[in-house]
Amino acid sequence: MNMKPEFKIISDLIIRASHVLDVGCGDGVLMEFLIKEKKVNIRGIEISKTKVQNCIAKGLTIIEGNAEEDLKQFPDKSFDYVVLSQTLQAFLNPEKVINELLRIGKQAIVTIPNFGYWKIRLHLLLKGTMPVTRTLPDEWYNTPNIHLCTIKDFVFFSESKNFKLSKSIALKSNQPSYIKKSNLSIKNLSSNLGIFLIER
Amino acid sequence: MNIKENIKKLIIEKPLKLDCGQTINNFPLAYETYGSLNEKKDNAILVFHALTGDQFVTGINPITKKDGWWSYAVGPNKSIDTNKYFVICANVIGGCMGSFGPSHENPETKKIYGTDFPVITINDMVNAQVNLLDFFGIKKLFSVIGGSMGGMQVLQFISNFPNKAKTVIPIACTSNHSAQNIAFNELGRQAITADHNWQDGKYISQNKVPDKGLAVARMAAHITYLSKKGLQEKFGRKLQERDDLKFGFDADFQIESYLRYQGSVFVDRFDANSYLYITRAMDYFDLIKQNNGNLSNAFKDTKAKFFVISFTSDWLYPTQENKEIVIALNAIGANVGFVEIKSDKGHDSFLLNVPDFLKTLKNFLDQSYLET
C-alpha cells in the first residue's frame, strides 16, 4: 500500500475518537490508518472518480468533490481536525483553502513537500532544470504542483496571516524532528517534508 | 384485469390522510419480495420504483413477461444481492399494477375513479408503503433505495421516518422538480388529455384507450432519459430498413422507429390516468418547501448513513441537484457519501448495465452491512 511516512506523525497529532476530514484523501490509505490507530470518525473528500470508488469499496465515507469549491458546504468548526496531506501545492488558491480548513476544522494538519530541500536546490543549481524528485515526480509541464513552497515560506506565510503553528515537524529520511525559530534555516535545507498543526 | 388478481396485495385498513385532504382506508397496496427475511429481521431493503416502474423489480415480470425494471442491479450476487438481503418493493398508490389507483372502482359510486381519484403525493406514497414494515414485523430497514422518483420517495421516507432505515441511497434524483421537469411532465399530460379517446378520463368505462396520447407522452419522456451523446452514438442519422429518404412521414430514421416502438410497448402496460397522477405527484414534490426553505431540516432527526449517486450525463436530474442533497446533509454533520458515476447513458444510467455504478452500489451496501 501507498503508506506515506508522514501518516504515523499525522496520527500522533490526532486525539483518539475525534472527528476528522481528510481533504484529497486519495485511495483512503490515511483514513484507514487513522481509523485503525485512533478510532476516528473520519470523512474524505476526493476529486478522482476512480479513487472515490476505491474508497467506497473499503467502506469509507467519502464525498466526490473539489476541495476548492466543495469545502464551503461544511459548517464552521464541524471537525476536530482537517487533514491536507501533500495537496496544498496543487490548489489554484492555497491561501483560500487554508482559510477554509481553519474555518471548518478546530485545527488543521497540513503537510508540504519542501522545495527548500538541499537536493532540490542542488538539482536546480547544477542541472539548471526544474527539479524532479521522489516526492515531486512530475515534469514542469505536467505537474499538478503549481504552488510549491519551502518550509520557511510556509512558516513566514503562517506568521503573516496570524495562524498559530501549534506543532511544526520536519521529516528527513523518515526521521521527524521539531522545527523551531532557531533551527528553521537548517531544517529548511535538510528536510524533504514539513508537517504543521495549525489553528487560528 | 384478471391476470392482476394474482398479484400480492396488502389491504391497508388504517385510514391514511392524503395531502389533498381526503382520507382513504381499506385500500390495496400491491407488492413483491425477493430473497428472504433473516431471523433478526435486519436485512430488509425497501426499493422504491420510478415513474413507470412497478413492484416487479427483478426476474420475469409476471404481467409483461419481460425482465424486471432493475434486473441489472437486483438479484442473486448482484449489487442488491437477494442471497443476502430481503428486497421489498411496492407499486405506488396512484399506479396501475395492483395498488389503489385511478383505474379502480370507487366503492361509493361503483364507477371507475378516473380523474375523480384523489391527487396523491410522494408523501402519500411513502406513508402507504411504511405499512409494509409492520406487516413483515421489521423495526428498521437495512436500506431504502431508489432512483429518479424512487429517490424522491427515499428522501421523503427518511424524512418522515428517521429511525426506520440504517442506510439511505437516493440515486439520480432531486429534492424538488425544476421548471424544466414540470414542463416535460406537462407535455406528457397534455398529450394524453388531447387524445380524443381519453374522454375526460372515463375511457375505461367506454372501452377506449388513449393510446396515441400516452405513446407520445412516453416518447417525449424517453428522450429526457437519454443523453444527446448516447442517442447520437446509438442512432446518429441511421436510416430504418431503407437505403434513402422516402420524402414522407414514415419513420425514415432509426431514432423515429425506436421512439415509436417505445411508445407502443408502453401503452400495453401502463394506464394513462396513472401517468397523469404520478407525474403530478413528482411535480408537487418539494422537500425544501416542506421544510420551510431549509432542506437540512428534512434530515435533522436521522442518524442514517446516506449515499447519494448521480450520473455525468443525466440532464433530467443533474449532478448539481443531487449535490444539493449532499450539501444539506453536510450542513448538519450527517454521515453522507457522494459519487458521480461517469456514463453516457443519461438519466436511465441507473437502470442500465453501467458497471461502475453497479459495483459502487454493491460495495457500499456490502460494506455497510458488515458494520451492522
Domain range enclosing A66: 6-199
Residue A154: pLDDT over 70? yes
What are the grid coordinates assigned to A153, written together?
A: 515560506
Residue A81 placed within a domain: yes
As annotated, the active-site residues of B are: 148, 314, 347
Based on the fold, state whether residues B46 and B81 are members of the same structural domain: yes
Based on the fold, state whether residues B191 and B322 are members of the same structural domain: no
Residue B345 to residue B353: CA distance in whole angstroms: 9
Residue A66 placed within a domain: yes
Q: Which residues of B touch A65 (CB under 8 A)?
A: 323, 338
Residue A55 placed within a domain: yes
pLDDT of res. A2:
64
Characterize B130-144 residue by residue with b for buried, 16 or more Cβ atoms within 10 angstroms of its Cβ, and e for exposed: bbbbeebebeebbbb
Residues B196-253: pLDDT tens digits?
Answer: 999 999 999 999 999 999 999 999 999 999 999 999 999 999 999 999 999 999 999 9
Task: Name the β-bridge partners of B46.
Answer: B88, B144
Q: Which residues of A touch B360 (CB under 8 A)?
A: 53, 56-57
Residue B228 to residue B318: CA distance in whole angstroms: 14
pLDDT of res. A76:
96
Q: Which residue of A has its CA nearest to B361?
A: A56
Q: Which residues of B touch A64 (CB under 8 A)?
A: 338-340
Domain harbouring B159, CATH code: 3.40.50.1820
Amino acid at B98: G
Which of A56, A59, A73 lies nearest to residue B370, judging by beta carbons?
Answer: A59
Based on the fold, state whether residues B8 and B76 are members of the same structural domain: yes
Mean pLDDT, residues A151-169: 97
Residue A97 placed within a domain: yes
pLDDT of res. A134:
81
**Radius of gyration, CA atoms only, chain A:** 16
Residues 151-190 of A with CB under 8 A from B: none
Helix or strand or coil: residue B44?
Answer: strand
Residue A10: pLDDT over 60? yes
Residue A119 placed within a domain: yes
Based on the fold, state whether residues B230 and B92 are members of the same structural domain: no
Cβ contact (<8 Å) for A49 and B342? yes
Q: Which of B279, B314, B334 is the last residue of a domain?
A: B279
Mean pLDDT, residues B10-37: 97
Domain range enclosing B113: 2-178+287-371
Local confidence band at A136 (pLDDT 50, 70, 90 cut-offs): confident
Based on the fold, state whether residues B153 and B39 are members of the same structural domain: yes
Residues B88-144: pLDDT tens digits?
Answer: 999 999 999 999 999 999 999 999 999 999 999 999 999 999 999 999 999 999 999
Domain harbouring A116, CATH code: 3.40.50.150
Q: Which residues of B touch A75 (CB under 8 A)?
A: 330-331, 333
Which region among A3-7, A57-61, B154-158 has the lowest average model confidence (pLDDT)?
A3-7
Residues A53-77: pLDDT tens digits?
Answer: 999 999 999 999 999 999 999 999 9
- Dmax (CA) of chain A: 48
Identify whether the C-beta of residue B309 lies closer than 8 Å to the C-beta of residue B172.
Answer: yes
Identify whether the C-beta of residue B272 lies closer than 8 Å to the C-beta of residue B198.
Answer: yes
Based on the fold, state whether residues B172 and B234 are members of the same structural domain: no
pLDDT of res. B152:
98
pLDDT of res. B372:
74
Which of A39, A61, A71 to mutate: most B Cβ within 10 Å? A61
Dihedral sign computed on CA atoms, order B338, B300, B85, B349? negative
Cβ contact (<8 Å) for A61 and B337? yes
What are the grid coordinates assigned to A47, written together?
A: 476529486
Based on the fold, state whether residues B164 and B25 are members of the same structural domain: yes
Local confidence band at B2 (pLDDT 50, 70, 90 cut-offs): low
- Judged by a CB distance cut-off of 8 A, whether residue B331 touches chain A is yes
Return the C-alpha torsion angle B34, B38, B39, B40, nearest 10: -120
Residue B80: pLDDT over 60? yes
What are the grid coordinates assigned to B314, written together?
A: 443525466
Based on the fold, state whether residues B300 and B211 are members of the same structural domain: no
Cβ contact (<8 Å) for A61 and B336? yes
Based on the fold, state whether residues B129 and B242 are members of the same structural domain: no
Residue A167 placed within a domain: yes
pLDDT of res. B4:
73
Based on the fold, state whether residues B43 and B166 are members of the same structural domain: yes
Residue B371: pLDDT over 70? yes
Residue A1 placed within a domain: no
As for how many domains chain B has, the answer is: 2
pLDDT of res. A173:
86
- B342 to chain A, minimum CA–CA distance in Å? 8
Residues B318-327: pLDDT tens digits?
Answer: 999 999 999 9
Name which of B312, B167, B333, B178 is nearest A73 in CA terms. Answer: B333
Q: Which residue of B has its CA nearest to A56?
A: B364
| Cα–Cα distance list, A73 to A70, A104, B326 (Å) | 6, 9, 9
Q: Which of B279, B297, B326 is the last residue of a domain?
A: B279
| Number of Cβ pairs < 8 A linking chain A and chain B | 56
- Judged by a CB distance cut-off of 8 A, whether residue A78 touches chain B is yes
pLDDT of res. B5:
72
What's the mean per-residue pLDDT of chain A? 95
Residue B1: pLDDT over 80? no
As for how many domains chain A has, the answer is: 1
Q: Which of B261, B279, B297 is the last residue of a domain?
A: B279
